[in-house]
Each structure stands twice: as structure tokens, then as C-alpha cells.
Amino acid sequence: MMVTQASASPDETLNEATLRYLDAIYRLSQHGEPAGNNALAERLNVTPSAASLMLRRLARRGLVEIKPYKGVVLTARGLSIALRTVRRHRLLEVFLVQVMRFPWHHVDRHAQALQTVIDQEFEDRIDQITGHPTRCPHGHIIPTREGVLPPVADVRLLDCPVGTSGVIRCVDTDRDDWLEYLGRLGLVPGAHVTLESIAPFGGPATLRTEREVITLGFQLAEVIWIEQD
């Protein structure tokens, strides 16, 4: 994961729809690939034609760059605004878990509903109350107030050689059902795991935790990021 910095202040006059699109584009493209129109439409529960129209508007405003036949990426200004929303979303998730005692698999939808309507004072208060966290409950890095994502040593577990051990730092999914299941297995940030084996051709992975051996489907294992021992 690389350092990302946003130098410009976000335009507080942008409407909620714009903020949601920029947030969704960031989420879909944060591992380096452009956000596809169909994936974006599905995420935002709109039609592909409606998504295409909105993306053209965002491009005219200098917030995104459309890559023909590939998708869309954020410009520097679009990233600056998206990171403000990302910060607020992840701080809200921490607040919902720490203070309101929601389980970690229920907080994303609540944070989505609130992230575009809170102001700077509200954001700063949440940050203070929750102890200035650096990660959300799922382990995603919280951008600083200046719009910086600090570098981390996280690596995807399935990209490691068999036999690798480490501490789970991030579970990179917002699917409630996946988070609930992984939580029941104890595969949460802070847990220690060892990659015992990976079956060929997209087969399951076998993980050893401090309490048991777990066989996990490839898609589920793929969302686990660790800091190696």
C-alpha cells in the first residue's frame, strides 16, 4: 500500500450524490485498477446509463478521468474530496463499534448514511472521543485530517508463500455476511494466522490460528491482509 496525499481542501458545496460517487470510485480503484462503469452502477444501485451520465459530469468538473474501455480514475482534486469522505466514513465506523456497540459487520451501512452529512466539527469530535484511531474496525487505514494515507506493511495473505505467519491487519470487504462469518471464526484484525496450504486452481486455503485450523474458501481468504512476523 502506498502513501496517498491530497493537497487541496475538498469543496464543501459538493452535493451528496457527487460525494457518494467519488467515494465509490475510490473504493473500487484503490488497488490500482480503474473503477468499471457496471461495478460502479451496481455499488450505487443505479443503472449503468445513469452512472455513465454522472461520470461525464464529474469529468467535466475535473474530478475524474475516464479511461476508454477500462473505467474511471480520480484526479488529484477528486482524490482529495474522496479521502475526506473516506476519513469520515472510517471514523464513524470506529464510533459505531466503540461507543454504540454495533458489531463490525453492521457499521458500514450506517456510516454510509452519515458520511456525507457530518461537518468538520462533528468529525473532529468523533476523532477525539475514539482516541484518534489510525484504522477502522476492519483494519483500513484512516486518512489523516491533511489527507494522507500513511504507509503500512500489510500484504495480502494469499500473495505470501505457504508457511507464512503474521497478524491480521485488514479484512478488505464491506460484505456484511462475509464479515459476520469471518468474525465468528476469529479472523479479525489482531488475530495471528499461519498460511498452511492453498489448494490449486482457486481451491480453498488452510489457515492455522491460535485456537484451530480453518479451511477457508479462496474468495474469503483473499480479503485477509497481514503484517508478516
Task: Write the pLDDT tens digit of every residue in 39-57.
Answer: 999 999 999 999 999 999 9
Q: What is the reported pLDDT for 30?
A: 80
Residue 159, all three cell numbers: 500473495
Q: Which residues of 78-113 are buried (b: 16+ CB within 10 A; e: fewer)?
A: bbbbbbbbbbbbbbbbbbbbeeeebebbbbbeebbe
pTM of the model: 0.85
Over residues 156-170, mean pLDDT? 97
Residues 193 and 165: beta-carbon distance below 8 Å: yes
Average model confidence (pLDDT) across the chain: 91
Residue 226, all three cell numbers: 497481514
Q: Length of the chain, please?
A: 229
Over residues 165-194, mean pLDDT? 96
Q: What is the reported pLDDT for 105?
A: 96
Confidence class for position 13, pLDDT limits 50, 70, 90: low
Confidence class for position 1, pLDDT limits 50, 70, 90: very low
Residue 217, all three cell numbers: 474458501
Over residues 156-177, mean pLDDT? 96
Q: Degrees (nearest 5) of the Cα angle 178, 3, 153? A: 60
pLDDT digits (tens, 9 = 90+) for 91-111: 999 999 999 999 999 999 999
Could you tell me how far CA 97 lies from the centroid of its own chain?
A: 16
Identify which has the larger pLDDT, 10 or 205.
Answer: 205
Residues 132 and 126: beta-carbon distance below 8 Å: no
